[in-house]
Structure formats: structure tokens, C-alpha cells
Amino acid sequence: LVTVKEIQAWLSDYTEAIEKNKDYLSELDTPIGDGDHGNNMNRGMSEYQKAFEAKQPQTITETFKVLSMALISKVGGASGPLYGSAFMNLTKASKDLTEITSEKQLGDLFETGLSGIQARGKAVAGDKTMVDVWQPVVEQLKHSDLSKNNIEAAKGQTKDMQAKKGRASYLGERSIGHIDPGAASSALLFQSLLPYLN
């Protein structure tokens, strides 16, 4: 059973995970981007913590809204509006929701988030973006198959892909051989969620 308490604990853990992995994420963004993904995400999640303390959201939907606004206003890079629209869609989809009682329900919720990312960024599976983690995670949640290994596998698969969207796509074939930074930050997001399932 996931209530507002678990959602908030998850996002607080994610803030910590981003802070701890900030350098790693920026290093992933160096060969195929501009080396700022860790800093971008850390700025966004720090802003979330600040706004969270100031606004003290009491519901799942309000919590997602605080996160979405923080990411849109502070991240700066391409990833900000993309994560921001994911969590804006989660805000809408979780209106009136006080608890999430199944992984299937959580999968449906994240599917609206994935739709937000794709509506904004137009990436499909295989384009070497965060979509390559979000999409399998949605499917795995629906089939009660989300695990540490499956999340890591989805992230790892971006290594052999050629980027078709975002900065990395400017490199063409030279983008092959590197893990996508947005896939890595998304893997951290869902790894942080695992302890709160069941």
C-alpha cells in the first residue's frame, strides 16, 4: 500500500540518490552531451526539497505538483521539462487519490507520466533516452515484474543504442557505447521506489 507518506519518502530518497550520484550522472553526460545532467537534476531535486518544506503538501497530487514545478523551473536542461511534464501528468492522474493499492495501478499512473515525456520530447523506445527506462518500468509494474535487475537492464540497454533525440543525437553513431544519462537518472528514480512496493 502506497500512501502520501510512501510517495514523499520515495522522493526524499531520490533527492539523496541524485545528490550522491551527481558526479556519475554528469560524467555519463560528458562523452555524449554537455556534462551537466547530474548538476541539473541535483538543482531540481534540491529545489523540490525546499519547496516541499515551504508548502508542506498533504496529498499525493500536491506532492507531485511541487516536484513538477521544481523540475520545470530549476533544472534548465532538456531533462527538466521532460521530467516536469511526467510529474505534471502524475499530478493530474492522482487527483483524488489517497492510496495506491497495486503495482498495476502504479503502472497505469506512470504510464501517464511516460505519455507526458513522449508528448513533449517525441522520443520512442530505442532512441536512447529516459523513455528506454520509463517504458519497460511501466510494463514491468503492470506485470508485477519490477526489480532492481530489470531496471538496471533497461538502463544498460541504452549503451548500444544510437541516440535519435536530444544533444547525444548530434553525435550520430559516435553516441553508441555510452549509457544515456537520463536513462540513468530514471533508473535511480525507480530503484528508489522499490523499497516502498509491497
Residues that bind Mg ion (CB under 5 A): 29, 33-34, 36-37, 77
The yes or no reply on residue 44 touching ligand ADP (CB under 6 A) is no
Work out how close the CB of 99 gets to ligand ADP at its nearest, in angstroms, rounded to a whole number. 30
Q: Which of 22, 37, 43, 155 binds ligand ADP (CB under 6 A)?
A: 37
Work out how close the CB of 86 gets to Mg ion at its nearest, in angstroms, rounded to a whole number. 18
Helices 4-20 and 22-32, axial angle in degrees (round to 10): 60
The yes or no reply on residue 91 touching ligand ADP (CB under 6 A) is no
Within positions 114 to 173, which residues make up the interface with ligand ADP, using CB under 6 A? 117, 121-123, 129-131, 165-167
Work out how close the CB of 33 gets to Mg ion at its nearest, in angstroms, rounded to a whole number. 4
What does the block give as the cell for 136?
519497460
34 burial (CB, 10 Å; 0-12 / 13-18 / 19+) is exposed
Q: Give the span between the Cα atoms of 43 and 194, in whole angstroms.
A: 24
Nearer residue to ligand ADP within complex by CB, 7 or 74: 74
User: What is the secondary structure of 31-66 as a DSSP string?
Assistant: HHS-S-HHHHHHHHHHHHHHHHHHH---SHHHHHHH
Nearer residue to Mg ion within complex by CB, 7 or 130: 130
Regarding beta strands 99-100 and 2-3, do their DSSP bridges make them parallel or antiparallel, or are they unpaired? antiparallel
Q: Select from Mg ion, ligand ADP, none the partner in contact with residue 78, using the beta carbon and a kind-dependent cut-off of 5 to 8 Å.
A: ligand ADP
The yes or no reply on residue 82 touching ligand ADP (CB under 6 A) is yes
The yes or no reply on residue 78 touching ligand ADP (CB under 6 A) is yes
Give the interface segment with ligand ADP, choosing from 9-17, 32-40, 61-69, 84-92 (CB under 6 A).
Answer: 32-40
In three-state secondary structure terms, 20 is helix
- Cα torsion angle, 31, 32, 36, 38, sign: negative
Angle (CA) 77-168-26 rounded to 5° is: 55
What does the block give as the cell for 198?
509491497
Contacting residues toward ligand ADP, per CB under 6 A: 29, 33-34, 36-37, 40, 77-79, 82, 117, 121-123, 129-131, 165-167, 180-183
